[in-house]
Amino acid sequence: MHYLVRIIGVAAVCLGATEAVAAVTLRCPPDSKRVGNACVDTYEASVWQISPTNTLLVKQVQAGTVSLVQLLAGGATQLSPATSCSPAYPTTFPEDGNWVAVPGVSPSSPGVYAASVPGVQPSTCITWFQANQACLLSGKHLLTNREWQGAAAGTPDPGTDDGTTDCNVGSTGTSSDTGSRSACRSAWGVSDMVGNVEEWVADWADRATSCTDWTTSGNVPGHDLSCFGGPGGVTSSLPAALIRGGNFGSLAGVFAVSAGRVPSDATSFTGFRCGR
């Protein structure tokens, strides 16, 4: 028995060492930054319609090597940029995420992919279900709340916006192009995690009925909005998908979190971010 325990203990130590080595040696593709043992997209997602028969371009998106020039040269069309939410997502990629494959294409796909590239409006007017599927189709996943919080560390939270380099917060304007606010980067090098468009994350909770500026009351720096706490009960609660970071017109910050909307909601100021 003692011998067996020792073997199990050694195996656990070896596994821990392997995971540690993997975290240190992890090489992320060009479209992302290494955050611990994960690769987090550098930019808020832009969603593109690409013919699945254009296998080279699809593979570039899925490998994280695609550029904006390559997307445009390959005939890709950006879907639902924040400034207009037009063109809309195709009928084969509905709000409930239950997409329909393009006939005769393998592997199956609706031809909708999420990319992390600078210099474009983030895609919005998207439900949680669609955002989740767009990440999966691109060989990625929708960031978890924990991953998002880790990647946001060190992002400047100035409270005001100089309109050029600061995070896009507290304005009556619109979202800015991905990566265009040069000072709005986290300690990991991830852009626009405060303000601009708020971002769906993978986790769900009970839908909130009220909001607070929780950082002030919790003695945490910033004035970050928190919307949590549903009414409870089987008949009165609705599910919500968490939204992080705040948007250009809200109390934004690295601790801003909202469970205020159901996952089928879609607004012009809510986008998402993928990771690997």
Tens of pLDDT, residues 3-33? 344 434 444 444 455 444 444 578 999 999 9
Q: Give dist(CA 163, CA 144) in Å, integer.
A: 30
Which of the residue ranges 55-59, 221-225, 272-276 would you say has the lowest mean pLDDT? 221-225
Cross-strand pairs, 199: 244, 271
| Residue 6: predicted pLDDT | 41
- Residue-wise pLDDT for 146-191, tens only, equals 999 999 999 997 677 888 999 999 766 789 999 999 999 999 999 9
For residue 144, what are the contacts with CB-CB under 8 A and spacing of at least 6? 201, 202, 203
Q: Give dist(CA 200, CA 218) in Å, integer.
A: 24
Establish if 271 belongs to a structural domain: no
Establish if 117 belongs to a structural domain: yes
- Tokens 């009165």 map to which residue? 236
What is the β-pairing status of strands 141-142 and 212-213? Answer: unpaired
Band (250; pLDDT cuts 50, 70, 90): confident
Establish if 202 belongs to a structural domain: no
Establish if 34 belongs to a structural domain: no
Say if residue 1's pLDDT is above 50: no
Establish if 119 belongs to a structural domain: yes
- Look up the domain containing 133 and give its range: 40-142
Establish if 242 belongs to a structural domain: no
Q: Give dist(CA 67, CA 116) in Å, integer.
A: 9
Q: Domain total for the chain?
A: 1
Percent of the chain residues topping a pLDDT of 70? 80
Establish if 221 belongs to a structural domain: no
pTM: 0.85
- Residue-wise pLDDT for 66-101, tens only, equals 999 999 999 999 999 998 999 999 999 999 999 999
Angle at 39 between CA 224 and CA 128, to 5 degrees: 55
| Residue 2: predicted pLDDT | 44
- Give 233 or 79, the one with higher predicted confidence: 79
| Residue 151: predicted pLDDT | 98
Establish if 49 belongs to a structural domain: yes
| Residue 108: predicted pLDDT | 94
> Tokens in use for 95?
């709000």
3-state secondary structure of 56: helix
